[in-house]
Structure 1
Amino acid sequence: METLVPMDPAAEQPVVEEPQVCLPEHCFYAFDTLFCELTKKKPLPPTFPDEKYALFVTWNTRSSRPGRAPRLRGCIGNFEPMPLHEGLAEYALISAFRDSRFKKIEEWELETLECDISLLTDFEGASSYLDWTVGVHGVQISFPHPTSTSSSEAPSPLSSSTSVPTLQTYRRSYSATYLPQIAPEQGWDKIETIDSAIRKAGWNGRITEDVRRSIKLRRYQSRKCTVSWEEYVQWRKGNGGKI
């Protein structure tokens, strides 16, 4: 006869792990795209499902000194979901060659690189510029030119400006984003992150509470994976590719 054992409410429940969204294979494929573009070798075909995601491809240069964090070498992505086979290949090269903050990545640098893929999920509109959690959410901000928040007919409650904007002013708007890991890496709180994003967007004037309150913010989460050059080489050789 089967014995029924009562469940202890205080007993630890089994942890159900979420399926891994971002895979090392995504990083290997991006690395392979860059490697083959620079060396004219034959790329290996992708082996992962061609699902659609908004994504960012980041290249970092690893320090030769132990304990030092890698340095950013290029990072560009897209907020519109796109098939991974196309998106990872496209943005692997865009972030390597067209990030205006850096020179193009060259072949001699490959051995110093690591590849970081971020697949973006859980996009939500936020109620204010503070409606997000450091270390959990990335932030995507957009805001109008601060003088366009006032009107010649009636001043906005969000602005103390009394100037009358021109048509050109109305046309100007700003936008920027930070991935979820950026604020913790920099040691920023919410306001420091938002103020940095405002500067990143291109606003060089005074950052007032009026400017912050004019922000439209979308928060999102990220599933991330990183591989080194050595891991990529092992993967490529193991799948019949030449180095």
Structure 2
Amino acid sequence: MSLIPPNPTTSEEDFQVCTPEHCFYAFDTLFTTLTKKKAIQPKFADEKFPLFVTWNVRCPGKQPRLRGCIGNFEAQPLHEGLSEYALISAFQDHRFRKIESRELDSLECSISLLTDFEDASSYLDWTVGVHGIQITFPHPSFLASDRSEAPSPLSSSSSIPTRSNLKHSFSSTYLPQVAEEQGWNKIEAIDSAIQKAGWNGRITEDIRRSIRLRRYQSKAYTVGWDEYVEWREANGGSM
């Protein structure tokens, strides 16, 4: 009997790249850090991938709620990268308080291994549900056509704004599943990514057109606490 039930969001191709073992290893890193139990050593290949580790809280009858998500676009050896970002996303995501041991049995862990990076021809050159987006764009005051429209980031200050004290560029990313889960079209996803990057002014078409966009895909898998406990006990670990 298989230890792991089929994951409905994971294709056969995904499963060949991102596996339950990657999720279990990340879960084990968090569990043993919080409980001081002995960790189980990874058995999967120590390949290199850009990766993200996501923690969600499972709510009965509702969609899982984000609890932390941080990763790296530089290829990481999986043994080190998964253990490092399992803890960074659990403890250092500034949007959330640190995950505590009392929350463990409500968590699920999603691992995304990023692949197929491509430079897009425009901010619309990607597909919802297929591509993640990584955007960068300059401060709107550096766009000649937008200087009169962009609100001053220092409008409430007595200091006179200068180009030297503006943030020169902004960047953010959304994993491939985010836009589809949120029900966004491309424009809505782009505008949300612009705000996520830290721009709080009016979003104009000139700002959108100034975006440099890299699209990418991910191979992902998700496991919950019960699956992790079964795996850990099957591998001789104590709870």
Q: TM-score range by the shorter chain?
A: 0.7 to 0.9
Structure-1 separation of matches of 2:94 and 2:168:
21
* Larger Rg belongs to: 1
1:167 aligns with 2:194: no
Q: Percent identity?
A: 70
Count residues with an aligned counterpart: 216
User: Under a length normalisation based on structure 1, what TM-score does the superposition of the two structures give?
Assistant: 0.86
Q: Relative to structure 1, is the Cα distance of residues 71 and 240 closer, same or farther in structure 2, using a 3 angstrom cutoff?
A: same
CA distance in 1, matches of 2:34, 2:134: 32
Structure 1 alignment gaps of length 5 or more: 1-16, 151-158
Indicate conservation of the 8 Å contact 2:138/2:169, yes or no.
Answer: yes
CA contact (8 A) 2:140 2:146 kept: no
4+ aligned runs moved over 3 Å, structure 1? 162-165
Q: Which residue of 2 aligns with 1:145?
A: 139
Higher relative contact order (CA 8 A, sep 6+): 2
Q: How far does the alpha carbon of each residue in 1:67-124 deviate from its partner, in whole angstroms, 9 at most, with x for none?
A: 3111000000000001000000000000000000000000000000000000000000
* Inter-partner Cα distance in structure 2 for 1:129 and 1:184: 17
Please say if 1:216 is aligned against 2:202: no
The CA RMSD over aligned residues, in Å, is 1.4
Unaligned runs of 5+ in 2: 1-11, 151-160
What residue number does 1:182 align with? Answer: 178
**Kept after mapping to 2: 8 A contact 1:139/1:218:** yes
1:71 paired with 2:57, answer: no
Partner of 2:113: 119
Letter in 2 for 1:103: R
**Equivalent residue in structure 2 for 1:235, among 224, 231, 234:** 231
Partners of 2:77 and 2:20 in 1: CA distance: 17
Q: Tell me, in whole angstroms, the C-alpha distance in 1 between the residues paired with 2:79 and 2:39.
A: 13
8 A Cα contact 1:97 1:104, kept in partner: yes
Q: What SS does the corresponding residue of 2:136 show, helix, strand or coil?
A: strand
